Structure 1
């Protein structure tokens, strides 16, 4: 029993050094990518707004004030007010918290379900792989937003159901991505060496395969967070996502569509917030993809 353990440790040491070297190279390439840095700056501002919303706007963002309804931007209300006289700035700041919760919840569902299933499918193959991939193909036959829309229609509206619905639409993306990576990694020499000394399949998957597929998973997670915010905004715009009075960017756009010509500021600023949040995650995801690619010269 002791011999496989010591041999397995010997196998892991060069692998660990290689991963540390790759991490240093990846970080250096990421710092040279201006688009990724811009995305990181936007993302940092977004996180500050989400976490510091009670400090930046101490009032109640859902408190109506009909006297000042549809007021244009001014010193009192920097971004103006909506049809109920609520501060658009305050609702955008608090809406960033809702969007961040949705994005984290969605990628959580995708990671907890899609990654383990993809690892099992790619490592074992055979009938297990066939069944999982046919189920994945069935989910991928539906456009992601349409699948989330159908699931929300079945389960009902609300924050929780929105997260679950969008998360399920992301699961097949993780399954297919992880499976493809595992099919390549499982043929590597260090995996064969670990298998030859009698290492259990669970340890091979967790210690040798999973760390080597984390790079594409990280990229996919960044891109999925932007997509989750976009999908949530789309559901909110249609009125079947997060429900009022909870501030959410999509529902703000939905309630402002009747005033877009007369009072364009009501819809413009929530739209800009959605655009910048999705852009920040996409730029960072593209930068991570280029940084993790060994063929990239950035």
Structure 2
């Protein structure tokens, strides 16, 4: 080989970048998405607040102090006090724990029920698919919040019942999402090969199909957490979600609506907390979708 040929090959090796893995490409796209980074930073702030709540606000956020009722923001009370003289900042900090716990619980209910039924419906088809989809259609016939509202009215108020009610309203979304992905993946060559060698159905579902449908599930999980916080806040605002004196953002917003004219800070800051949390999940979820789906390019 001539020196000129060797030099040309070297130029080609230098000019061609090393091939990135799918995860590396996704991370690179996510880092270039400023909106997704902003959403991720907001979520990290809320997670940090939830973990270190006792350090950020020592004391009992539910302890009343009527002498300090409805005080505006000041050096002592940065976000003011509510109608019972409780620090709004302290209640928002501890309310972060409640809201994130509800969001995680709701998503877990949706995942644990929706994924198996979606896999079975999409993989087997036939009468099983027909039965599952008709039940799903009935659940989807109700608006999500209205369904959660009805279930809470049946089950009763409280954190556990709120999680169950909102989680049930999320189940049909995951069933439809997983089923649609399975209908595509089950026709792939590697699935047909696994069937041909006699691999059992449950191994095909959880070893070959499920890992290949995790991208849309991951994106939906992030977006679903934002919806769960919004639903929980709506139930709390109506007085049928998490009950006082537990510091929950929706309940705080509901109690503060009575003081919008003489003490607007009581409702403003819990509303901003809900807004920022939902916005953070939505921005990060959209960024994940753009980064993980090869059809989207920044």
TM range (shorter): over 0.9
Deviation of the 1:153 alpha carbon: 0.3
* CA deviation map 1:136-165 (0-9, x unaligned): 000000000000000000010011000000
Tell me the number of residue pairs that the alignment of Structure 1 and Structure 2 aligns: 279
2:139 equivalent to 1:170: no
- What does residue range 115-264 of structure 1 map to in structure 2 within 5 Å? 115-264=115-264
For residues 185 and 31 of structure 2, what CA distance do their matches in structure 1 show?
A: 27
Q: SS at the partner of 2:257?
A: helix
Which blocks of at least 5 consecutive residues in structure 2 are unaligned?
1-19
2:97 equivalent to 1:89: no
For residues 129 and 28 of structure 1, what CA distance do their matches in structure 2 show?
A: 39
**TM-score, length-normalised on structure 1?**
0.93
* CA deviation map 1:159-200 (0-9, x unaligned): 100000000000000000000000000001111111111111
Q: Say whether the 8 Å CA contact 2:215–2:293 is kept in structure 1.
A: no
Deviation of the 1:295 alpha carbon: 1.8
Deviation of the 1:29 alpha carbon: 1.0
2:55 equivalent to 1:24: no
Q: SS at the partner of 2:177?
A: helix
* CA deviation map 1:35-67 (0-9, x unaligned): 100000000001011111111001100000000
- Larger Rg, first or second structure (1 or 2): 2
* TM superposition outliers: structure 1 runs of 4+ over 3 Å: none
Structure 1 window deviating more from structure 2 (232-241 vs 20-29): it is 20-29
Give me the CA root mean square deviation: 0.8
Number of the residue aligned with 2:55: 55
For residues 35 and 281 of structure 1, what CA distance do their matches in structure 2 show?
A: 11
For residues 88 and 176 of structure 1, what CA distance do their matches in structure 2 show?
A: 40
- What does residue range 38-77 of structure 1 map to in structure 2 within 5 Å? 38-77=38-77
Q: SS at the partner of 2:75?
A: coil
* CA deviation map 1:224-269 (0-9, x unaligned): 1000000000000000000000000000011010101111111110
2:287 equivalent to 1:291: no
* CA deviation map 1:95-137 (0-9, x unaligned): 0000011001000100000001000000000000000000000
For residues 37 and 222 of structure 1, what CA distance do their matches in structure 2 show?
A: 14
For residues 252 and 290 of structure 2, what CA distance do their matches in structure 1 show?
A: 35
**TM-score, length-normalised on structure 2?**
0.93
Deviation of the 1:22 alpha carbon: 2.0
For residues 75 and 148 of structure 1, what CA distance do their matches in structure 2 show?
A: 40
Number of the residue aligned with 1:14: none
For residues 82 and 183 of structure 2, what CA distance do their matches in structure 1 show?
A: 53
For residues 50 and 232 of structure 1, what CA distance do their matches in structure 2 show?
A: 17
For residues 26 and 197 of structure 2, what CA distance do their matches in structure 1 show?
A: 32
Structure 1 window deviating more from structure 2 (255-264 vs 235-244): it is 255-264
Which blocks of at least 5 consecutive residues in structure 1 are unaligned?
1-19
Deviation of the 1:21 alpha carbon: 2.6
